[in-house]
């Protein structure tokens, strides 16, 4: 189990899933180095009292429990999708809480991990909407690198305890991320699936942006409107109307 406060040695950094994302202790303060324009935009957040409180809580959680994702994967959504490259935002709730599943991108799992039911339904909708074959791989990095920000509202979770890190501070950070994207003049497409994601609509106030809403892809709700929503083709139609490159939703 990783210690959140362990200063990384050079040889340890080489083993990280995303080498550019390093949490390191300097001058008694945890610094977050995402490695792109998010660093400057979120600098005040990472130096705030509420983030220090969250950091302290996570220190205890990672020390005493199994917590996902790996601490070095927490900010992968921001690493793979810089602010200025973001074209589409998909908002999840919190990470998968099973061992080996979560790796910092909402709905995504590492290759080789069984595809969770919600992601299976996402792939079914892509197949129905665009005719893309249903993937047997669940890693969505290829979406993220095309400008699809795969953002959970809560970035960590205790093993076997969904929403266990709700109300600890992550929502303040992720609401700020959404608000920063709302401030952009360049249009962003927000895909809001399920009630918690749809509640974030109140943060999207500027008229140049696009909001597509549907029930959550969970098996409990997918048949009430997620399947058949055609959000993937609609997203690409909007991107093309804006003169932007459409997303290749096929999993690479």
Catalytic residue numbers?
Answer: 94
DSSP labels, 135-196: PS----HHHHTTTEEEEESS--EETTBTTTTTTSSHHHHHHHHHHHHHT-SS--EEEEESHH
CA gap 76, 22 in Å, rounded: 11
Query: Tell me, what DSSP letter sits at residue 209?
Result: S
Residue with tokens 């093993």: 159
Tell how many helices (H) and how many strands (E) occur in the chain.
10, 8
CA gap 145, 5 in Å, rounded: 29
Buried b (16+ CB within 10 A) or exposed e, 35-65: bbebbebbeebbebeebeebbeebeebbeee
| Crossing angle (nearest 10°) for helices 49-64 and 170-182 | 130
Rg (C-alpha) for the chain, rounded Å, is 18
């Amino acid at each position: 189990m990783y210690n959140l406060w362990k200063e990384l040695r050079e040889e340890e950094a080489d083993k990280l899933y995303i080498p550019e994302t390093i949490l390191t202790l300097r001058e008694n303060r945890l610094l977050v180095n995402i490695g792109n324009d998010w660093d400057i935009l979120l600098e005040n957040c990472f130096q705030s009292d509420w983030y220090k409180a969250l950091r302290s809580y996570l220190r205890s959680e990672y020390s005493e429990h199994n917590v996902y994702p790996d601490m070095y994967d927490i900010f992968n959504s921001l690493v793979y999708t810089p602010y200025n490259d973001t074209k589409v935002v998909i908002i999840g709730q919190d990470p998968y809480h099973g061992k080996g599943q979560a790796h910092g991108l909402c709905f995504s799992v590492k290759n080789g991990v069984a595809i969770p039911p919600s992601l299976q339904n996402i792939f079914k909708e892509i197949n129905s909407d665009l005719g893309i074959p249903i993937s047997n791989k669940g890693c969505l990095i290829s979406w993220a690198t095309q400008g699809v920000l795969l953002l959970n509202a809560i970035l960590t979770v205790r093993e076997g305890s969904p929403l266990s890190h709700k109300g600890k501070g992550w929502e303040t950070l992720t609401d700020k991320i959404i608000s920063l994207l709302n401030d952009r003049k360049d249009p962003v497409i927000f895909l809001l699936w399920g009630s918690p994601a749809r509640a974030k609509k109140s943060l999207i106030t500027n008229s140049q942006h696009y909001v597509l809403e549907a029930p959550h892809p969970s098996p409990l709700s997918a048949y009430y409107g997620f399947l058949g929503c055609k959000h993937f083709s609609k997203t690409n139609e909007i991107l093309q109307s804006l003169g932007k490159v459409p997303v290749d939703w096929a999993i690479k």
